[in-house]
Amino acid sequence: MTKQDLEIVAANGLINRRHLLGLGLAGMGTLASTSLLGADAGLNLEIPGWSKQPGANASGYGSRSRFTDDMQRMSGNPNPLYPGGGASRSPLHQLQGSITPNSLHFERHHAGIPDIDPAQHKLVIHGLVRQPLVFSYEDLLRYPMVSKIYFLECSGNSGSLFGPNPADGSAQSLHGLVSGAEWTGIPLSTLLDEAGVDPDARWINAVGADAASMGRSIPLNRAMDDVMLALFQNGEPVRPGQGYPMRLFVPGCEGNISVKWLTQIKLTREPTHFRDETSKYTDTRLDRKSQQFTFPMGTKSVITAPSGQMKLERQGIYQVTGIAWSGRGSIRRVEVSADGGRTWADAMIDSHQSEKALARFTIPWQWSGGDAVLQSRATDSQGNVQPTRTSLVTEKGNISTYHFHGIQSWAVNTAGDVANVYA
Amino acid sequence: MSTLKKLLTASAVSASLAIGLSAVVQAQSLGTPINESQLQGFDLIAQPNGSGYPAGGGTAMQGKAIFEIRCVACHGMTGEGTSANTRLVGGDMQSEERPIRTVGSYWPHASTLFDYVQRAMPADAPKSLSSDEVYQVIAYVLHLNGIIENSLVLNKETLMQVEMPNKDGFIDSSQAL
Each residue's pLDDT tens digit, B130-172? 999 999 999 999 999 999 999 999 999 999 999 999 999 999 9
**Has residue B111 been placed in a domain?**
yes
pTM over 0.90: yes
Domains of chain A from N-terminus onward: 122-291 (3.90.420.10), 300-421 (2.60.40.650)
The answer to whether position B9 is within a domain reads no
pLDDT of residue A43: 83
Residues of chain A under the 70 pLDDT cut: 1-4, 21-41, 351-352
Per-residue three-class SS string for chain A: CCHHHCCEEECCCEECHHHHCCCCHHHCHHHHHHHHCCCCCCCCCCCCHHHCCCCCCCCCCCCCCHHHCCCCCEECCCCCCCCCCEEEECCHHHCCCCCCCHHHCCEEECCCCCCCCCCCCEEEEEECECCCEEEEHHHHHCCCCEEEEEEEECCCCCHHHHCCCCCCCCHHHHHCCEEEEEEEEEEHHHHHHHHCECCCCCEEEEEECCCCCCEEEEEHHHHCCCCEEEEEECCEECCHHHCCCCEEECCCEEHHHCCCCEEEEEEECCCCCCHHHCCCCCEECCCCCEEECCCECCCEEEEEECCCCCECCCCEEEEEEEEEECCCCCEEEEEEECECCCCCEECEECCCCCCCCCEEEEEEEEECCCCEEEEEEEEECCCCECCCHHHHHHHHCCCCCCCCCCCCEEEECCCCEEEEECC
Nearest CA in chain A to B98: A399
Q: Which of B9, B13, B115 sits opposite A272 (nearest CB)?
A: B115
What's the CATH number where B88 sits? 1.10.760.10
Q: What confidence score (pLDDT) does residue B6 get?
A: 46
- Judging contacts by C-beta atoms under 8 Å, the chain A residues touching residue B120 are 110-111, 211-214, 275
- To which H or E segment does residue B170 belong? strand B170-172
Q: How many domains does chain B have?
A: 1
Question: What does the pLDDT read at residue B18?
Answer: 47
Contact across the interface for A289 and B170, Cβ inside 8 Å: yes
Interface contact A289-B42, CB threshold 8 A: no
Q: Do B173 and A398 touch (CB under 8 A)?
A: no
Q: Does A207 touch chain B (CB under 8 A)?
A: yes
Indicate if the pLDDT at residue B8 is higher than 60.
Answer: no
Q: Residue B104 belongs to what domain range?
A: 57-161
Read off the pLDDT of each residue in B6-27 and give the average, rounded to a whole number: 47
**B148 belongs to a structural domain:** yes
Contacts of A135 in chain B (CB under 8 A): 30-32
The answer to whether residue B24 is domain-embedded is no
A264·B29 Cβ contact <8 A: no
* Residue of A213, A269, A275 lying closest to B44 (CB–CB): A213
ipTM metric:
0.92
Of B16 and A167, the one with more pLDDT: A167
Residue B52 lies in a domain: no
In a domain, B87, yes or no: yes
Residue B84 domain flag: yes
Contact B174 A273 (CB under 8 A): no
Q: What is the pLDDT of residues B53-106, one digit of tens each?
A: 999 999 999 999 999 999 999 999 999 999 999 999 999 999 999 999 999 999
Residue of B nearest to A382 (CA): B177
Residue B172: inside a domain: no
Given A273, A288, A289, which is nearest B48 (Cβ)? A273
Residues of chain B positioned with their CB less than 8 A from the CB of A82: 74, 83, 85-86, 123
The verdict on a CB contact (< 8 Å) between A296 and B177 is yes
Name the residue among A82, A205, A278 with its Cβ closest to that of B112. Answer: A278
Test mutation, A125, A274, A326, chain B, max B CBs within 10 A: A274
Contact residues, chain B, for A200 at CB < 8 Å: none
Is residue B15 scored above 80 in pLDDT?
A: no
pLDDT score for A23? 52
pLDDT of residue A351: 64
pLDDT of residue A6: 83
Q: Do residue B34 and residue A126 have CB atoms under 8 angstroms apart?
A: yes
